[in-house]
Amino acid sequence: MKDPRNDKLADLLVNYSCKVKKGDLVYLAIKGTDSIELGKSLIKKVTKAGGVPFWYYNDDAMFRQFLLYNNEEQIKKFAAFHLNLTKRTDCYISIAGSNNAFDLNDVPPEKMAMFKKLYGQPVILNQIIKKARWVAMRYPNDSMAQLAMQPREVFEEFYYDVCCINYAKMSKAMDPLKKLMEKTDKVRIKAKGTDLTFSIKGMTAIKCDGHRNIPDGEVFTAPVKNSINGVIAYNTPSLYEGTVFEDIRFEFKNGKIIKATCSNETERLNKILDTDAGARFVGEFALGVNPLIKHPMKDTLFDEKIDGSFHLTPGRCYDSAPNGNNSAIHWDLVLIQRNDYGGGEIWFDNKLIRKNGQFVIPALKGKFTKKALA
């Protein structure tokens, strides 16, 4: 069914996030039947902007068949085919709306690891992310509403409000946080079960203000690769490769995860972290600041932006904030520090900057509220 809100969202993706211009080749990766309606709006908006759309439809139920039965040579040919397309791409818009979030649950971790190395790394990480103007988002279907444990109509209202927040105001509010992070050396994080220290000295901080993800709302950097020490106990479940991981806990020594546990899938967790040499080091540290996202819904694009949260990411760093860590994985894991999730503190250079999810320094206090960003 046609939803006029999709035209507004497509306009945001095409004209704000990717800034499509005349002659641009725009690759539309559309996943799941529910996403087709937004796909139609995107094709229309890209064409009206003077771009040339190419659309590729996929679904995890079909993708699963390939993952279960392929071999190394088949993946290489699959990757070469897609790499040839993406090398010609100016803009890449990914819309994910699979009907079943658990379609990949029975794919062996070693199969996923091989696919990430042979396809994900050369095509997505090295080509699209490095060389194209790109944005990724989800589509609000029944599966997504179920993960959020809400009626679909209620979830859709939340979804469109969050995705279409005033990103221009958000971007301006992020400026002092970016500046603060770029002049900080020592970081200490405390929360229930968490006491962690590391350095971000000399690292670039990046504002995420609607140009790469929708919804958006984080400022990220990277820790000095070998500087992390201590323990972190994440309090947000993570749906990754068709499996929900609960109560993930890492112990770090000189930047490396030396012990990893969770309450339900510890063996699978460690297989993911053994994907390659970089998977047990961290490639990203970010603060979530979207005031409209309050609770986890097992969707990383939303959960990593939760108000009063941060994420510390095993795996590959971004080229825009490099710390030298390379990996086929990039797994954003979230810890919420608001009072309703146990509280917590973040210290920069021995100064408390955020307590119980709220910034306490004058330059940032009250900047990321619903009212401030209206």
Show me where the domains of the chain are located.
4-163, 167-359
Q: What is the pTM of this model?
A: 0.85
Report the sign of the C-alpha dihedral through residues 95, 99, 101, 104, in that order: negative
Q: What is the mean pLDDT of residues 269-297?
A: 96
Helix or strand (DSSP H, E) at 73: helix 72-86
pLDDT tens-digit map of 137-192:
989 889 889 988 899 999 999 999 998 889 999 999 999 999 999 999 999 999 99
Give the pair of three-digit tokens for residue 76. 């290489």
Indicate the DSSP class of residue 339.
G
**pLDDT of res. 335:** 98
pLDDT of 198 above 80: yes
pLDDT band of residue 99 (cuts 50, 70, 90) is: confident
* Percent above pLDDT 90 for the chain: 87
Q: What is the mean pLDDT of residues 256-263?
A: 98
**pLDDT of res. 333:** 98
- The CATH number of the structural domain formed by 4-163 is 3.40.1830.10
Q: Using the structure block, give the residue that is written with the tokens 């990430």.
A: 116
CA distance 65 to 127: 25
Query: Is residue 45 classed as helix, strand or coil in its secondary structure?
Result: helix
**pLDDT of res. 341:** 97
Q: Which neighbouring-strand residues pair with 198?
A: 187
**pLDDT of res. 2:** 75
pLDDT band of residue 206 (cuts 50, 70, 90) is: very high
pLDDT tens-digit map of 318-335:
999 999 999 999 999 999
Q: Which of 42-46, 171-175, 240-244, 270-274 has the lowest mean pLDDT?
A: 240-244
Query: Is residue 176 classed as helix, strand or coil in its secondary structure?
Result: helix
As a whole number, the mean pLDDT across the chain is 95
Q: Which neighbouring-strand residues pair with 171?
A: none
**pLDDT of res. 344:** 98
**pLDDT of res. 356:** 98
pLDDT band of residue 285 (cuts 50, 70, 90) is: very high
CA distance 33 to 48: 24
φ and ψ at 163, to 5 degrees? -70, -30
**pLDDT of res. 1:** 58
Q: What is the mean pLDDT of residues 117-135?
A: 93
**pLDDT of res. 241:** 86
pLDDT of 121 above 80: yes
pLDDT of 345 above 70: yes
pLDDT tens-digit map of 29-38:
999 998 999 9
